[in-house]
A and B are shown apart, each in its own frame.
Chain A
Amino acid sequence: MTAAVWNWSEIIPALPEVFLAVSAMVLLVLGACQKNGGLKLIGTLSVAALAVAMVLTLKADWTPVTVFSGQFLSDGFSSYMKILVLGGLIATIMLSMRYLVQENMGRFEYPVLILLAGVGMMIMLSANSFLSLYVGLELQSLSLYVLAAIRRDDAKSSEAGLKYFVLGALASGMLLFGISLVYGYVGAVGFDAVADTLAAATAEGTVAPGAIIGMVFILVAIAFKVSAVPFHMWTPDVYEGAPTSVTALFAIVPKVAAIGLLMRLLFDPFVSLMPDWQQVVWFLSAASMAWGGFAGIVQGNIKRLFAYSSIGNIGFALVGIVAGTADGVAASILYMTIYMIMTAGTFGIIMMMRRNGVAVERITDLAGLSKTHPACAYAMTALMFSMSGIPPLAGFFGKLVVFQALIASGFYVLAVLGLVSSVVAAYYYLRIIKVMFFDEAEAPLDRESAPMRTLVLTLSIIFIAGFVLVPETLMHTSQEAAAVLLPAND
């Protein structure tokens, strides 16, 4: 590799990241100069910065290009995933502004941290070597640790942040160890070089076991980030302990980035080890779907419930990766997109749950919602039906495409496991509907108007209900993104 001469044009493909990073720092300074109550301004500006980054990504040239000495890759896949991430971040900030004020945690650092996490995620998605991968992942993780513990005065929040941090550190350790193993046996950290070496070794049948073990370590670390079973243990505790707005963020965005990263790893550097990693992902997927389905049944706290729901959903997204085909990847991308939008809507409802000015989060608190807040109840019903995969809502199509891809690749056992789990999981989604419509309310929830949150919720409902009418657009886009990742299979 020849050392590239620095050239300002190299910065163009990374413009969205650079812009976002600079805005984050500017906003940090700006926020520090404000007297208390800078949240509204900083929040609005953050949304604007994210939106600009999104437009930059959209307008950028999507032909694959590597810059920064092969560290950074921008292509159609990364751009598509970045748009998802940025959209998710915008939605989260819009959802949480009102909540932050109500809960007295309206610090200006909050949106800035989200911006920084966003930069981390975008770097993860554009990583083209293990080094940039690690840097991006850590930037994202550190921001999220702080966010989880942002209510320093609250024991639960601090506990959540600490748990997340310690276990995350453990995962980071595994990641680094895995990277060093791979480097040791392959002799490279760049994705292209690793891919070439492994492909050659596979062809000769001389793949070093150490490289495979290294890959397993790396997979485990990513599995922690996407909270796949058995590396999910932090999820319920952190989801429950963190402030609801942060939980919404956790549920909506980082998983999309991590799944994108996982796809990049598996189909770029490790693509020639597919038979090996398929076994790992098969296991993670099956365990996550089953655990997410069964353990959710007995939950009483709605945030905890959605922790298990997210574990199960990650299992379904992994299903598409197990298939190992372009269709499978496209299905996974579509699944994550739909999941993200449904979750945004769901947390819109959860953040609305307040009684006498205090946030409540038990499922039974939703009782009688159909009488007191009929619009909310029907919106939630649509979301829950979609989550449990009932046609014609979007969630059904998400499940349909991943299982189609899986069946096409011949993984029948996993398909059956997945279908059984989705039936089990349907129990707790439907239970929420039952509580809202058939149980008697003790005291009605507060009425409040939060236009931004309502907007996100409305868009989410329109999406899940309208998807059936124009499914081609999104399916086509996700297939294009997947085709970038797997050009050979197309």
Chain B
Amino acid sequence: MELVAVFAPLVGFLIAFLFGKQIGPRGAQFVTCTGMILAAVMSCALFYSVILQNDPRVLHLATWIAAGDFEVQWALRIDQLTVIMMCVINIVSACVHVYSVGYMSHDPARARFMAYLSLFTFAMLMLVTANNMVQLFFGWEGVGLASYLLIGFWSHKPSANAAAVKAFVVNRVGDFGLLMAIFTTFVVFGTVQFDAIFTMAPDKTVDTFNFFGFEIHALTLICLMLFVGAVGKSAQLGLHTWLPDAMEGPTPVSALIHAATMVTAGVFLITRFSPLFEYAPFAREIVCIVGAMTALVAATIGLTQFDIKRVIAYSTMSQLGYMFFALGVSAYSAAMFHLMTHAFFKALLFLGAGSVIHAMSNEQDMRRMGGIWKYIPTTYVLMWVGSLALAGVPFFAGFYSKDLILEAAFASGSWFGQMAFWMGIAAALMTAFYSWRLILLTFHGKPRASAETMAHVHESPNVMLIPLAVLAAGAIMAGSMFYGAFANSATSPGHTQDIKHVGDMVSIWDKDYFFGDSIKVLPENDSVVAAHHVPKWVKLLPILAGALGIGFAFVVYMFREGMADKIVRAFKPLHTLFYNKWYFDELYNFLFVKPCFVIGKLFWKGDKNVIDGLGPDGVSKLSRGIAGRLGVFQTGYMFHYAFVMMIGLIGLVSWFIYRTMGS
């Protein structure tokens, strides 16, 4: 069961990639989709056996590396946390696979595309099933590679190649952090196995680590390094610049990798290492602050963008910010909850956007859309569902998870928790606003596209709509069904009455039971429990903010046509700042990219003239020279040969005579 859930995508990838030509695009689509659906079904089975029957396990496959004290196993760690991730990954991935069959139907290289999608899924599964840091790193790099390949899938577009390279390079910075974390862990703990690390962690709270001459609290250092890794992969502020550009990839890729799964790897990583983060309060503080700032900054940028996919991309970044500040206040289960609900509604939004783009003949600019809701009603409805969930409107998935995060942040009682709460409320307002800005600009108003495009507008085929429907079901239900599982605790039985939810049927809907030992929260840090005792206004404020945002969007984009421009003019400097994404790209260009090019050119020229000249080119020239010189001896005359022999003999004899005389 575990093996099928993890390796079916690999098999799909291998068949589609190696024999793509032989089995043709249809065969590749069939193989990969079958593999994924199988994997998804198996994950659901695992959900039942591991979580509901409380039976976490570790499956050893083989020894990977054994060098002295350092031993690394191939193993599948199937615990509750893993299974939640597996369900999310496999279900969303299965939807995206099926959707891609329709979306990519005109692409000549669709067999390769399906293969890459499966490869990505497998790498992601390797990441979440890892039982040690090295295997985790393997999966981590694997998803990075798949992401690179898929962003640059349309390799004929220079912008796609640039975006792929950018994603890869920026991620390297994060990967470096993760590597440092692995190294430090090995130095401090002497092992990279999760179990051993987590058991030892409470004893290591006073250890320090000499880092560039500074004695630093070892666990804090490890956690911060892990966080650097997470920042890269999860596009948090600082290393976020690659995510919007990654939208150059085909839309299914954006949905799967850059919204639902890979970018949440950072959240998973920190949750996995919760036993360490619990003993590193300073690291959690940093995580919380960065997360909150990301949530806010990304939301402000999202307000101003016009590319439909970029708006959603910034919203993804903003939602990831929510998850991170939840992690920062020890609300791991809340973060995982939001991760899950977000995966559903964000994949839905992306695939919906893909459906729109498909309908609009590959137009992505919202300024050239509008008025198409009656032509593509199904997509329209599904986009509404996604947006409602995103904006946190009650009873949709996002509402439960986002509320839980905000309440936990407020309840944590720390100054940064409070700050994160207010920034989160502000971001929630903006989220609601730009979600409806997107809907109104895209579907309502007068058509702004060319007549030719408008004539082509058509609803997507069923093969694309059915996955959307599955995801929509998730976006509607996932929140209410699993609220108890992620939020309730045996220590706060009274809370369940606060919000009506359908999931509270059995006693297992309780986060202590649901997660078992896979996450660790110290009782005094447990902000999720504390979240049940916040004042009423804290619970109502997010809903209010959402409603305000939606209302405001209707006013600006539906009822008062010219108002948007007026607002833009009134807040010119702010708008420019937001529109240009806070000038992060320009700053990085100036600070890193340009100097790198200058240094690169210097080395390139230097390498060509100096190193190549003296090295490869010079040596080969020299070799040929020597060879030519030696060839001169080979005259063909026998007396020359005899002469050389005699010289050799005399030389050797002289050497010995000289030595005998000398001694």
Q: Which residues of chain A have a CB within 8 Å of any CB of chain B?
A: 162-163, 166-167, 170-171, 174, 209, 212-213, 216-217, 219-220, 224, 230-231, 233-234, 236-237, 276, 279-280, 283, 291, 294-298, 424, 427
Contacts and interface: CB of A to CB of B under 8 A. Distances in A.
Contacts of B655: 279
B523 interface: no
B61 interface: no
Contact of A280 (B638, B647, B652): B652
Contacts of A283: 652
B628 interface: yes
Chain B residues touching A, majority SS = helix
B66 interface: no
B641 A234 contact: yes
Contacts of B640: 233
Given A209-B657, A216-B653, A163 B638 contact: yes
Interface residues of B, number: 25
B652 A216 contact: yes
A236 B634 contact: yes
Contact of A276 (B628, B644, B645, B656): B656
B653 A233 contact: no
Nearest to B620: A427
B542 to A, nearest CB: 63
A217 B649 contact: yes
B160 to A, nearest CB: 32
A162 B638 CA distance: 9
A423 to B, nearest CB: 9
B644 A230 contact: yes
Interface in B617-631: 623-624, 626-628, 630-631
Contacts of B657: 209, 213
30 contacts: A162-B638, A167-B642, A170-B642, A170-B645, A209-B656, A209-B660, A212-B660, A216-B656, A217-B653, A219-B652, A231-B648, A233-B634, A233-B640, A233-B641, A233-B644, A234-B641, A236-B634, A237-B634, A294-B626, A294-B627, A294-B630, A295-B630, A295-B631, A297-B623, A297-B624, A297-B627, A298-B624, A298-B627, A298-B628, A424-B623
Contacts of A294: 623, 626-627, 630
B626 to A, nearest CB: 5
A295 B628 CA distance: 7
B633 interface: yes
Given A167-B641, A213-B653, A220 B648 contact: yes
A297 B621 CA distance: 11
Contacts of B641: 163, 167, 233-234
B636 interface: yes
A349 B655 CA distance: 43
A124 to B, nearest CB: 21
Q: Which 7 A-B pairs have the closest CB atoms?
A: A233-B641, A230-B648, A297-B627, A295-B630, A298-B627, A294-B626, A209-B660
A298 B631 CA distance: 8
Contact of A230 (B626, B645, B653): B645
Contacts of B624: 297-298
B646 to A, nearest CB: 8
A283 B655 CA distance: 11
A174 B633 CA distance: 22
Nearest to A223: B648
Chain A residues touching B, majority SS = helix
A233 B653 CA distance: 19
B660 to A, nearest CB: 5
B344 to A, nearest CB: 50
A213 B649 CA distance: 10
A111 to B, nearest CB: 29
A163 B623 CA distance: 29
A292 to B, nearest CB: 10
Contacts of B631: 295, 298
B46 to A, nearest CB: 40
A220 B644 contact: no
Contacts of B626: 294
Contacts of A298: 624, 627-628, 631
Contacts of A234: 641
A237 B628 CA distance: 17
Given A233-B641, A295-B627, 16 more contacts: A171-B645, A213-B653, A216-B652, A224-B645, A230-B647, A231-B645, A231-B648, A233-B640, A233-B645, A234-B641, A237-B636, A276-B656, A294-B627, A295-B634, A296-B627, A298-B624
Contacts of A279: 655
Contacts of B660: 209, 212
Nearest to B634: A236
A224 B648 CA distance: 11
Contacts of A162: 638
Nearest to B622: A294
A212 B638 contact: no
A420 B73 CA distance: 39
A289 to B, nearest CB: 13
A220 B649 contact: yes
B520 to A, nearest CB: 47
Contacts of A296: 627
A237 B660 CA distance: 37
Interface in B599-630: 623-624, 626-628, 630
A280 B652 CA distance: 7
B645 A167 contact: yes
A291 B652 contact: no
Nearest to A162: B638
Contacts of A231: 644-645, 648
Given A212-B656, A212-B660, A297-B624, A174 B638 contact: no
Contacts of B648: 220, 230-231
Contacts of B656: 209, 212-213, 216, 276
A219 B656 CA distance: 13
A57 B652 CA distance: 38
A217 B649 CA distance: 7
B633 A233 contact: yes
Nearest to A159: B636
Nearest to A217: B649
